[in-house]
Amino acid sequence: DENGYVDIDWDTLGFGLTSTDYMYKMKCFKDEEFTEGKLIPYGNIELSPAACVLNYGQGLFEGMKAIRREDGKVVLFRPDENALRMRIGAERMCMPSPSVDPFIDAVKQTALANKRWIPPPGKGSLYIRPLLLGTGAILGVAPAPEYTFLIYASPVRNYFKEESAALNLYVEDQFDRASRGGAGGVKSITNYAPAMKPLAKAKNNGYSDVLYLDSATGKYIEEVSACNIFMVKDKIISTPPTKGTILPGVTRKSMIEIAREQGFKVEERQIAVEELLEADEAFCTGTAVVVVPVGSITYQAKRPESPLGYAELIGYSSSEGSDTNYEPDLEENEGGTREVNESDAGEYEYAIDGDEIANLEREADEFNDELLGYDSDTSDDELQIAKTRVKECNHKLHEIAQQLEKEAADGRLCAQNQSTNAPRSEETSRENSTQGSNEREGSTGGRGSRGVRGKRGRGSRGRGFQAPRGVGVFIADDGSPWFNQSGQATIVQHVSHTTQQKFQASTVDQAPH
């Protein structure tokens, strides 16, 4: 049309495939490097039936978005992070991968070549899908002799049909998404087809998506099919650590960085499913979903029957954005009182795995050795990957040390309580519970992973997460927050809106680094 847009009803756009004008293609042989590619008309590609990607699943993909701002500029969100993640995944899958600069250049070319397909501000985004495929023909189980790097794009709106509604998640305890030593920590194409069956079952039963547990114990949450998950308890943001079974999302990383910059405490640690069910807030992050609140979590066919706090979201969108200096005011959950009996006062346990510490220390040493072994011929990408891994390992070790200190403090508190035989009133019981177990553990049923074991008190809400009244927000495609009826912002809103502001700062014309 006269404004440079393709003739599409942007108001009815969903998250589906729409063929655009161009895609990007680049090839290289095994043990070589990707050098130069080109834009070609969007269309089908030709593959040998013996292509490694078809027979053995040797393939990776990435997901990112180009968004049109009000001033007409097109922006990307941290494409260098997607490039590095693909390089790390390619190393795991025995594949060559484009270095960061050629990756970003290819993404920019694809976005600009399909600019008329980028929705107007607030109407969606251009979803960009880079693919790295082992397209060479091979019969035996071995890396392909030839590789193809492809990028295509499609205009999209919201990933979830609920749009501004909160997600209803189902905890899957029969199927696993990933296992230790597998490829769950990279964006391999082989991770997604096995998840289709449990996801279809959940959707047929009215759920938005599936939340998976760890395959080793079945006790700890990992990630949702299409996104990472966070919980908030006592104004502390927590998310499961990426230890090889969870994809390190770019939006997840951005959320953590910005939350810490804003003064919030963020923990990357194991989270028992029972602890999540008693959270004050929960939300998911991802390229496709951006940031979306969780309204309910069903575990073992049980969910609270009370109305969802998020169900009271109303269609009020603030174009002004939020005050970045606002400190979220989380309301206490009703009916969440907890009691600690005398017989329970000395019972606690540590959730720190000695093997995990040893493995992290070993990984950090190995990556440090890699850095020491690099010379002037080492590429910037290889240095950046190694430095990032060392930083992540050391950060996790630091968090474990902090947890151990707190666990030791909890232990001293428990021992002190156990040696005290004086009777306690119900109010004193609640106070001790809040200062002890509630401070470290969100579960009200059964023993948690740390702190004093809590027993279910009167009025407790059952096994399931319930978003409390007065908290919850959805960030729209245009970056504006949706407030609930009470007009209160939350940690989700406070941090995710800042993420959106940083999103808008990176234009396609200037590759962000």
Query: Each residue of 219-274: pLDDT tens digit?
Result: 999 999 989 999 999 999 999 999 899 999 999 999 999 999 999 999 999 999 99
pLDDT at residue 441 tops 90: no
Question: Per-domain residue ranges for the chain?
Answer: 22-157, 167-298
pLDDT at residue 308 tops 90: no
Cβ(305)–Cβ(468) below 8 Å: no
Q: How confident is the model at residue 340 (pLDDT cuts 50, 70, 90)?
A: very low
What CATH number matches the domain at 167-298, 3.20.10.10, 3.40.720.10, 3.40.50.1820, 3.30.43.10? 3.20.10.10
The verdict on whether 187 is a catalytic residue reads yes
Element (H, E) at 13: none
Q: How far apart are CA 81 and CA 385, in angstroms?
A: 10
Dihedral sign, Cα of residue 179, residue 185, residue 190, residue 196: positive
The chain-wide mean pLDDT, for the chain, equals 74
Average pLDDT on 328-357 reads 37
Lowest mean pLDDT among 119-128, 424-433, 474-483, 499-508: 474-483
For 22-157, CATH gives 3.30.470.10
Percentage of the chain lying above the pLDDT 70 cut: 58
Q: How confident is the model at residue 343 (pLDDT cuts 50, 70, 90)?
A: very low
pLDDT at residue 457 tops 50: no
C-alpha neighbours within 13 Å on the C-beta side of residue 53? 19
Neighbouring residues of 384: CB distance < 8 A, sequence distance ≥ 6: 84, 100
What is the DSSP secondary structure assignment for residue 467, as one 8-state letter? P
Q: How far apart are CA 123 and CA 363, in angstroms?
A: 44
Most confident of 204-208, 460-464, 482-486: 204-208
Average pLDDT on 468-488 reads 36
Q: Which of 65, 123, 187, 233 is catalytic?
A: 187
Average pLDDT on 125-143 reads 97
pLDDT at residue 170 tops 90: yes
Lowest mean pLDDT among 34-48, 177-191, 213-227, 312-326: 312-326
Closest by CA position to 327, among listed 91, 484, 143, 493: 493
Task: Evaluate if pTM is beyond 0.85.
Answer: no
Integer angstrom CA distances of residue 188 from 212, 246, 384: 17, 12, 21
Virtual torsion, Cα 474, 476, 481, 485, nearest 10 deg: -50
pLDDT digits (tens, 9 = 90+) for 64-84: 999 999 998 999 999 999 999
Closest by CA position to 475, among listed 494, 462, 488: 494
| β-pair partners for 283 | 230, 293
The pLDDT assigned to 480 comes to 37
